[in-house]
Structure 1
Amino acid sequence: MPPRRLTRHNTPDSSMAAADLGTAEWERSKITNQDLNLLKKLGITEQSFPSEESYPAPPMGYRVSFVDHLIRGLSTPIHPFLRGLLYVYGLQLHHLTPNSILHISIFITLCEAFLGVSPNWALWKRIFFCRRNGSPNVAYNIGGVVISIRSTADYFDVKLPDSVQGWRKRWLYIREENDGCLEDNIPPFDGAEKILRRRSWDAEATEEERTSTESLMARIHELQNTRGKELSGIQIIVYFLKSRVQPLQARKFPLWKYTGNEDVDRLSVDLEVKDLERLVRKITSLSKKDAIPSSCRVKPYSATHALPKPVIKDLLRIGAQFVGYREYANKAEEKLAEANDRANTLAQQLEQSEKARKKAESDAIDARAEADKAKADAAGVEDLRKRLHTAETSLSDHIAAQSAREEAIRKRLTTQSRRFVARTAQEFQLDEPANDSLLDALSLLEVHGSEARGGIDQAKAGLSRLFPYFFPKKEEPATFLDLAKCFNPSEDLGLRVRHENMKIAVENTVALVADSQQSIDWSKVGDTDQIEQSRWRSLIKAAKPNTRKILAYIGIKPSSTPSSSKPEV
């Protein structure tokens, strides 16, 4: 009998004690004609609308999205930076709130159009972090994660609404436009997938990353505070809405190469002023009294406003330091994924034998050698080395923990076996003992358990044989505990049986007297209080010669003990 495998499960953030709603949040989609007209004006036409289903079942080639995500800059195929965030945070698109989607759109627009660099992970970590979205009683699955600005970050006041009403009900299907490239795929939809908090949610920039992105943070501060040329979050939103380029879409060119009305990445013609202002107020907290800027005070980089040469060299160096390794990073991710799969396989084999453990160590050495070679080919990627070290430490801890668990199980089973022997005075030996002490202990415990179950079955069978005798008019209980309770009632079962027998004897005696055709006053026979003790004893003595005849007639064999001289009450 092999030992049972113990599995360790990750749990959500302990601060969120509320239950996750899961699939219960989904309901029939409620998209209005106003929503459809807005999508049409934005040039978002490759979508399919659910009919009657109350839970998403996207057709082949489609993914689940929301109207409020699309109007905030989302389109397919999705931007590589957004795809990377979903991978690092372990999320799906429906886990993010509309405000979180808008935060990512603003960040990408800021990087490409006003900083002149591709969005990178190091700068993102200096500004944003993830947290769960919910209440003390409810933990959301749809929109269960919020992208928040760090309190220490000097960043734009975007003026987002506190909440977006009814956005979870406005879901639809969007076509997966990836031209057959799996790298641009949105993760497959799984509405029941639980949100598990990861360390990456709170990841902060390393000292090296902070040093390398300091000039970018200084530029952001300059954009915010240059007198007369202040840039705001609202201006950034207005810019990407007017340009008709979706920031969260994988595009042919970055925004610093934007060519205007003829740009290949535009989805539609310019929005009318009233439609633009209405949309800005819809996705922000601005009211009708607040003015909507018609343009940015800072001229964004584009094909007609190229990056200055001194800035190009410095910013491209910074961008390349964290973004230029994309091809290498993809290969490194593949190698890391292969190493993780190999480690999981080896961890399972370690539970079976010491030989598998040695093989896992050998494979880990090979994986380390491959990783060292990859690090030599890509100098400067210190982050990969740290990940590999963490994986090795985790594997070693797993091996040590598994050995400790096996030893604890052996000791506990041995102790239980000794206790069983002490109680039952029975000791068992295996016919063909194995070299594995854990399997030996489990086999002995199984034998002891079989003996105990056999004794219990015999006891139950015996009580079942007695039950009809004591309880002829009752149905035998289904459980052993209820059967045992029947034999421990508040009344005396022996007394009850004797009373029943006495009743039968009296009825038979009365029947014999009636058959003798004697004239008897039955009302006086039942009045026993009028009979004196001496009179009673003399009558009993006179009846004794005929007792054996009466008992033999009614089928009762008399005992050798003298009968009672007084009736039992």
Structure 2
Amino acid sequence: MATEDLEWERSKISNQDMNLLKRLGFTKKKDALRFPHEESYPSPPMEYRVSFVDHLIRGLSPPIHEFLRGLLFVYGLQLHQLTPNSILHVSIFITFCECFLGVQPNWALWKRIFCLRRNGSHGVAYNIGGVVICVRSDVDYFDVKFPDSVQGWRKRWLYVHEESSDSMEYNIAPFDGKTKILRRRSWDAEATEEEKLATEALMTRIRELQSTRGKELSGIQITAYFLRIRVQPLQARKNPLWMYAGDEDVERLSTDLSAKDLEKLIRRISKLSKKDTVPSSCKVKPFCSANPLPEGHLVLSSLPPLPEGGEVEERAVVTDDNQGASRPESGVGGSQKSAASLEKENETEVTSSTRSSLPLLLQKAKGRGMKLSTLAPPKLILPVLKRLHPMPGKKLWVFTMLLLSAQKLAEANRRADALATELEQSETTRMKAEAKAATVEDLQKRLDDAKRALEENVAQHSAREEEILGRLESQSRRFVRRTHQEYELENPEDDELLDALSLLEIHSTEARNGLAEAEAGLSRLFPYFFKKKEEPAFLIDLAKCFTSNEDLGLQLRQEGLKVGVEGTMALIAESQQHVDWSRVGNTGEIETKKWQSLIKAAKPSSKKILATLGYIPAPAPSSSKPEVK
């Protein structure tokens, strides 16, 4: 079977991922994480290992818990070879053991529940995420509701700090992205009879937690619990989770997440639909400092075997590395074969390649319990075989039966290969559809977030405007008078913007009032200066009429004098009196005082004359000298 590296490429950790890691508290410790720069292939610094963002949000955090260290050692794996769902399996198991069973994570119990299988497509075994931890089919365990696939998780890789131990074999193996994954006997290791007896009470407790009506515990409840308390299950800790002390606990990675962030995170790492509610608490109260372990409680301890001067037996490599590489999850997860039976089967398949075809077919036929008597002798094939390969009749009949069985087996294999190809095509189509749906859903979420942000921004601006308007009204009421009055604040606050706005409002009001009064005054004057013109509708046009280069007052007085002279001439002509017109306009010969006395003496008569004519002139100051045009 070919091994595919899935082509390591430059890490693509988005700003959204960085913000999430910051909210979760991973960046609080200075050297816990390091992010790659432009390298397209991981090159971790000394004492760092390669992991993924989707590992961290599922409970992983440096320094790594000793139970996970033991699993990686026993199974001969590196962190990057485990899928995100496998990491979540370990996190849930550790949380369940410490919070609901009151024991350390138990290696014997783990072997009763879990086994490992290869992860890959038809004919190809992945190296990045090439191993899957799954539940044995004969075990009733919590329904975790894992997503069918985690989109793009292999592209979001980073470096996590691995604290050194005195024993180099105890540390996680240094990163090697090209190391081939070897299937080991430990992948299907089963608990011994002694281990089964020791963990039977724990298995009974698991069944009770699943079947007690009203207090059923689920994998989603356990996941939500360790995310809510902000303690990473896969981090090396001083205290187990049954000693969790609440908000003041020293193991907390960050403060509480908001309800919205917690719900989004749980939906991201599970396949809960929008209709499914996210549990706000566990139906079974977990052990903690507020709910301590009962008195006399026995705390079992069973860790995966770690090296003490040599290899552990479970790490032996199975000879046939291809076995179980592409089997469906249900088949591998429920494998009930022992390590010895698997080893025997593998050895049989490998050594058979050096044998002849006839003994091999016979051996496989016997191994599968085939009854040759159930097949009718092929009468048409026997004569041909006699010519090609003469042999005794009984052996020839057996050989013919084996050939037919091999033919049927080859046909079955071809049908299986065709079905596997169709399954791979349907899987590819499904993954594309999921990616498209995830993209649409992500765009919809981003649109909703943008709408909410815009609404919040508008609300903030509206509140700010209302505050400014209210304060402006309060400032305006402090004026005793608006005209010719200095602006003074009573108990002013240190807000230069509001003070400037208040001054602007006051001066604007003064300007508006002045313009209104000017417009009214000019409108009253307009008929006297422009009798035959229509008054403009706008103040600017009206003001332009009065800014002419001509002296409008002089023109008006000359016009009035002309009318007076014409009227006087008309009265004299009507009275038929003789007038020396050559001296009428010569006012220079008359002294100023005499002219004023004559005007004064003529006023009563001129008023009567004008009243008779029906004209009442407006009062105007008299001039010392008449103006003659």
Cα deviation for residue 180 of structure 1 reads 7.7
Q: Which residue of 1 aligns with 2:150?
A: 164
Task: Call closer, same or farther: CA 1:174–1:180 in 2, change over 3 Å.
Answer: farther
Which residue of structure 1 lines up, in the alignment, with residue 309 of structure 2? Answer: 335
SS in 2 for 1:25: coil
Residue identity opposite 1:42 in structure 2: L
Q: Which residue of 1 aligns with 2:11?
A: 29
For residues 66-90 of structure 1, give each alpha carbon's deviation from its aligned partner in whole angstroms, at most 9, with x where no partner exists.
Answer: 0000000001111111011001111
Given that 2:73 and 2:172 are in contact with CA atoms closer than 8 Å, whether structure 1 keeps it comes out as no
The match for 2:239 is: 253
1:240–1:182 CA distance, 2 compared to 1 (3 A): farther
Q: Is the 8 A contact 2:53 2:156 kept in 1?
A: yes
Q: SS of the counterpart of 1:130? A: strand
Alpha-carbon contact 2:60-2:233 (below 8 Å) kept = yes
Q: Which residue of 2 aligns with 1:487?
A: none
CA offsets per residue over residues 338-364 of structure 1, 9 Å max, x none? 999xxxxxxxxxxxxxxxxxxxxxxxx
Q: What residue identity is the alignment partner of 2:246?
A: G
Residue 178 of structure 1: CA displacement?
Answer: 5.2
What letter corresponds to residue 186 of structure 2 in structure 1? S
Residue identity in the other structure for 1:110: F
TM-score normalised per structure 2: 0.48
Match of 1:38 in 2: 20
- Cα drift, residue 62 of structure 1: 2.1
Tell me how far apart the structure 2 counterparts of residues 280 and 139 of structure 1 sit (CA, whole Å): 29
Report how far residue 134 of structure 1 moved: 0.5
Pair 1:64-2:59 in alignment: no
3-state DSSP of counterpart to 1:146 = strand
Q: How does 1:491-502 map to 2 (within 5 A)?
A: none
Residue identity opposite 2:90 in structure 1:
I
Match among 16, 20, 23 for residue 3 of structure 2? 20
Q: For each residue in 1:535-569, what CA deviation from the matched residue of structure 2 results, as whole angstroms up to 9, or x when unmatched? A: xxxxxxxxxxxxxxxxxxxxxxxxxxxxxxxxxxx
Give the equivalent residue in structure 2 for 1:7.
none
Q: 2:26 and 2:118 mapped to 1: Cα distance?
A: 30
Query: Of residues 34, 41, 46 in structure 2, which corresponds to 1:55?
Result: 41
Task: Give the equivalent residue in structure 2 for 1:482.
Answer: none
Matched, 1:111 2:97: yes
Q: 1:137 aligns with which of 99, 109, 123?
A: 123
Query: 1:41-88: per-residue Cα shift (whole Å, max 9, x none)?
Result: 111113221111110001223221100000000011111110110011
Q: Decide whether the 8 Å contact of 1:76 with 1:178 is kept in 2.
A: no
1:149 maps to 2:135: yes
- CA 1:30 to 1:130, structure 2 compared with 1: closer, same or farther past 3 Å? same
- Give the AA of the match of 2:74: V
What is the DSSP-based 3-state SS (H/G/I as helix, E as strand, rest coil) of the residue aligned with 2:246? coil
The residue correspondences of 1:272-287 to structure 2 (distance < 5 A) are 272-287=258-273
Counterpart amino acid of residue 149 in structure 1:
V
- Alpha-carbon distance in 2 for matches of 1:179, 1:41: 30
Residues 1:228 and 2:202 aligned together: no
Structure with higher Rg: it is 2
Partners of 1:282 and 1:186 lie apart in 2 by 28
Partner Cα separation in structure 1 for residue 313 and residue 292 of structure 2? 43
The code of the aligned residue for 2:85 comes to: N
Aligned to 1:377: none
How many angstroms apart in 1 are the aligned matches of 2:233 and 2:159?
19
The match for 1:309 is 295
C-alpha contact 1:25 1:142 (8 A) present in aligned 2: no
* 1:339 to 1:299, Cα distance in 2 relative to 1, 3 A: closer
- Alignment match of 1:201 (pick from 162, 165, 187): 187
- Residues in 1 aligned to 2:101 and 2:67: alpha-carbon distance in whole angstroms: 16
**What aligned pairs does 1:132-531 form with structure 2 within 5 A after superposition?**
132-177=118-163, 185-310=171-296, 312-313=297-298, 316=299, 319-320=300-301, 322-323=302-303, 333-337=307-311
Change beyond 3 A, Cα 1:182–1:303: farther
**Partner SS state of residue 151, structure 1:** coil
State the 1:335 CA deviation.
2.8
Structure-2 change in CA distance of 1:128 and 1:38 (3 Å): same
Q: Is the 8 A contact 2:116 2:132 kept in 1?
A: yes
Gaps of at least 5 residues in structure 1 are 1-16, 341-386, 388-569
Superposition misfits of 4+ residues, deviation over 6 angstroms: none
Q: Note the C-alpha offset of 1:208.
A: 1.4
Q: What's the CA shift for 1:137?
A: 3.2
Pairwise CA distance, 1:135? 1.2
TM superposition score normalised by structure 1: 0.53
CA distance in 2, matches of 1:48, 1:336: 33
Cα distance in 1 for partners of 2:214, 2:107 equals 31
> What are the superposed Cα offsets for residues 212-234 of structure 1, whole Å, 9 maximum, x if unpaired?
11100110111111111111110
1:363 aligned residue: none
Inter-partner Cα distance in structure 1 for 2:313 and 2:104 = 29
C-alpha contact 1:78 1:184 (8 A) present in aligned 2: no
- The amino acid across from 1:261 in the alignment is D
Instruction: Give the C-alpha shift of residue 153 in structure 1.
Output: 0.6
Measured on the aligned residues, the alpha-carbon RMSD in Å equals 3.0
Taking the aligned partners of 1:62 and 1:123, their CA distance within structure 2 comes to 30
